[in-house]
Chains A and B, each alone.
Chain A
Amino acid sequence: MPLTTHLVHQYLRHDKKFPHVWCPGCGNGIALGALIRSIHHLGYNRDDIVLVSGIGCSSRMPVYVDFNTLHTVHGRALTFATGIKLARPHLKVIVIMGDGDAMAIGGNHLIHAARRNLNLTAIIMNNNIYGMTGGQHSPTTPYGMRSTTSPYNHIERAFNISELIVTAGAGFVARGTVYHAEMLHVLIEKAIQKPGFSLVEIITHCHIQYGKLNQKGTHIDMMKWQKDHAVTVEKAQKMTIEELKDKFTIGVITDQNLPIYYDEYEKVKQRAQLSEK
């Protein structure tokens, strides 16, 4: 796929400071590239896209791209996005959050946004830790792992973001990794096209905080780990539970058509008007 970089550069805000703020080898840049490719491939006008983010490393993404962008408060990106979508339903609203942002501070907003089924696309960058604020454990830090706030190993079990959101009632949930960058842009494309709430969980690495504290090696080692431990949904169906131990699935986890909030709201409006007459 030559000329990808050329394409991505067309969408960047070149008046911002480059190279960007992320650490060398961070997966956030790879995910941003995948997002730009998917938006370009779907042929959207850049003024029709709204990127909303909260606080965290991954939430720096909208700063660098030339769409309508909103960098909001910690955990509340989805609430701002809900407001935008209801006021301007023709806009395509994409929400970018980290695992701490989406699952801890904004955990309630996330499950209810999924249940409500607004026409939003949420992208969660899952690096298992709070990277920007100094390596505290997040709701996705696996059991037994170290962080700066769990120096004697973490005693809580981690949330499985995708499965939680399937249960919360989202119409489309997919998981990808930054190693599988080519697959990632296909998943994001599908999520953007899907009417209703769609979520893409992106497994990424924080080699500076999580990797260092848990002897996971460099960013390259951690990307190789993603390669070795990711199994496609189709392949996983043919595998036993034993074989799937320590593995995670990538691909489209659920895809179903459910009533969409905005359409239902329009119907309520019509019913209310009829009853008034």
Chain B
Amino acid sequence: MQKSDHKKKSKKAYCIKVYKDWCKRCGICVEFCPKSVLVQDESGLPIVKNPEACIGCGLCEIRCPDFAIEVKNKELSFDPKSKNADEK
């Protein structure tokens, strides 16, 4: 367990993009995120509050009824040199 935790933290980082024009502010992504990465603003739009917590499971993507949220690997994080220098 410890090993995999270490891996997640040091190697992989994800960026989350929301297509504002397609998003209907239903809040499914926010509610069912297992790591509470997202919160809703006053209009209901999902905001990435806690990006370090994202494990890249993609559950928000597969449950988004409007195809309006995207999770991507941060390319920089694949570079071993930048492993400990996560800038967010």
B62 contacts which chain A residues (CB < 8 A)? Answer: 1, 4, 30, 33-34, 37, 181-182, 185
Size of A's binding interface in residues, CB under 8 A: 32
B66 contacts which chain A residues (CB < 8 A)? Answer: 19-20, 29
A257 within 8 A of B: no
| B-contacting 9-mer, from A5-13, A75-83, A152-160, A164-172 | A5-13
- Contact A25 B28, beta carbon cutoff 8 Å: yes
B31 within 8 A of A: yes
A28 within 8 A of B: yes
Residue of A nearest to B23 (CB): A19
A33-B27 contact, Cβ under 8 Å, with A18-B22, A19-B22, A182-B62: no
Residue of B nearest to A207 (CB): B26
Within 8 A of A (CB), among B23-75: 23-28, 31-32, 56-59, 61-73
A3 within 8 A of B: yes
- Contact A12 B67, beta carbon cutoff 8 Å: yes
A174 within 8 A of B: no
Within 8 A of B (CB), among A173-211: 178-179, 181-182, 185
Residue of A nearest to B24 (CB): A24
Shortest distance from the beta carbon of A205 to any chain B beta carbon, whole Å: 11
Size of B's binding interface in residues, CB under 8 A: 28
User: Could you say which of B14, B61, B73 contacts A5, with CB atoms under 8 Å apart?
Assistant: B61
Residue of B nearest to A26 (CB): B65
- Contact A5 B70, beta carbon cutoff 8 Å: yes
User: Could you say which of B21, B27, B73 contacts A19, with CB atoms under 8 Å apart?
Assistant: B21
Residue of A nearest to B70 (CB): A5
- Contact A29 B31, beta carbon cutoff 8 Å: no
- Contact A22 B65, beta carbon cutoff 8 Å: yes
B28 contacts which chain A residues (CB < 8 A)? Answer: 25, 219-220, 223
A178 contacts which chain B residues (CB < 8 A)? Answer: 63
A27 to B64, CA, bound (A): 9
A43 within 8 A of B: no
B67 contacts which chain A residues (CB < 8 A)? Answer: 5, 8-9, 12, 29, 33
A232 to B48, CA, bound (A): 33
- Contact A30 B58, beta carbon cutoff 8 Å: no
B21 contacts which chain A residues (CB < 8 A)? Answer: 18-19
Residue of A nearest to B14 (CB): A2
Hey, which bits of chain B sit against chain A, CB under 8 A?
14, 21-28, 31-32, 56-59, 61-73
Hey, which bits of chain A sit against chain B, CB under 8 A?
1-6, 8-9, 12, 18-20, 22-30, 33-34, 37, 178-179, 181-182, 185, 219-220, 223
Enumerate 27 A-B pairs (CB-CB under 8 Å) in ascending A order: A1-B57, A1-B58, A1-B61, A2-B61, A2-B70, A3-B61, A4-B62, A5-B61, A5-B68, A6-B70, A18-B22, A22-B65, A23-B24, A25-B24, A25-B65, A26-B65, A28-B65, A30-B62, A30-B63, A30-B64, A33-B65, A178-B63, A181-B59, A182-B59, A220-B28, A220-B31, A223-B32
A-B pairs, 7 with minimum CB distance: A29-B65, A25-B26, A24-B24, A1-B58, A4-B61, A24-B26, A2-B71
